[in-house]
Amino acid sequence: MTTKQIIQVINPNTSQAMTETIGAAARSVAAPTTEILAVCPSQGVPSIEGHFDEAIAAIGVLEQVKAGREQGVCGHVIACFGDPGLLAARELATAPVVGIAEAAMHLATLVATRFSIVTTLPRTVIIARHLLQQYGFEHQCAALHAINLPVLALEDGSGLAQEKVRERCLRAKKEDGSGAIVLGCGGMAQLARELTHELGMPVIDGVTAAVKMVESLVALGLATSKHGDLDYPVRKTLSGQFQHLN
Ligand code: 2AL
């Protein structure tokens, strides 16, 4: 009998609705032997739309990674397009940790020479730009677009944000000269497959991409390196509200 392996999918914001959207997308691609544990922090920011939000969200990510590690999960996904706390999470984790922005960008470069990104608010564009630089994908990104709606508009049930994503993707296809589109928010997770079909070009969501990457790493027997900078944090006594991270 094959035992189930658990992938912990962490929505770094506190929106329960978005956690469910992300969990459903993750489950839609997970292997039969994978169980998806979709979680979000109990405290923090309801949506992540800037550097301040990211700093707070990163603490919630670390708490969840620690909890997931104690539960014995086989990998962690950070399901926010800024990949908040990614390297810190890798220090805490033993299993692989994959961020949705890096996952989507990596996969986009395997199916196209250049990709476009469609994200939420214009102020989140700079976060994606910084990640492109950090991950070395600056030259593969043809353009970045914002639908100019806040993250939680994706969960308001009106469908307006989803329609704006669709319109932006169609425009990007027409104008950018790119071969693929990366969706720049965890809350857009369930749109990728339909848009891929409608646009006739790859539209990539990072949640599903990251789940398949974690499964691949696990299948290959690869875990987060503990040789070098991703080794467990140097032991020191954390004080006050951070004691529980000790
Ligand atoms: C995000 C995301 O993926 N989740 C969230 O709360 N903020 N980032 C974004 N650019 O919209």
Over the stretch 27-46, which tens digit does the pLDDT of each residue have? 999 999 999 999 999 999 99
CA distance 145 to 54: 20
Per-residue buried b or exposed e for 208-243, using 16+ beta carbons within 10 Å of the residue's own CB: bbbbbbbbebbeeeeebeeeeebeeeeeeeeeeeee
Other C-beta atoms closer than 10 Å to the C-beta of 76 total: 30
Minimum mean pLDDT range among 56-60, 142-146, 212-216, 239-243: 239-243
Q: Does ligand 1 have an atom closer than 6 angstroms to the CB of 85?
A: no
SS in 3 state form for 12-54? CCCCHHHHHHHHHHHHHHCCCCEEEEEECCCCCCCCCCCHHHH
At residue 3, the pLDDT reads 80
Q: Does ligand 1 have an atom closer than 6 angstroms to the CB of 208?
A: no
**pLDDT band (50, 70, 90) for residue 1:** low
Q: How many residues does the chain have?
A: 246
Residues 130-177: tens digit of each pLDDT: 999 999 999 999 999 999 999 999 999 999 999 999 999 999 999 999
Q: Does ligand 1 have an atom closer than 6 angstroms to the CB of 186?
A: yes
Best residue for ligand 1 mutational test, from 9, 18, 124, 164 (most atoms within 8 Å of Cβ): 124
At residue 156, the pLDDT reads 96
Average pLDDT over residues 108-126: 98
Q: Whose CA is nearest to atom 7 of ligand 1?
A: 48
One-letter identity of residue 157: G
Q: Which residue has the higher pLDDT, 178 or 245?
A: 178
CA distance 164 to 160: 6
In the numeric block, which tokens belong to residue 1?
């009998």
Burial class (CB in 10 A: 0-12, 13-18, 19+), 51: middle
Residues 228-238: tens digit of each pLDDT: 999 999 999 99
Q: Whose CA is nearest to atom 5 of ligand 1?
A: 48
One-character DSSP codes across 183-200: EESGGGGGGHHHHHHHHT
CA distance 19 to 93: 21
Average pLDDT over residues 13-39: 98
At residue 79, the pLDDT reads 98
**Contact, 120 vs 53, CB < 8 A?**
no
Q: Which residue has the higher pLDDT, 244 or 34?
A: 34
pLDDT of residue 2 exceeding 80, the answer is no
Tokens 């839609």 found at: 28
pTM of the predicted model as reported, rounded to 2 decimal places: 0.97
CA distance 210 to 22: 11
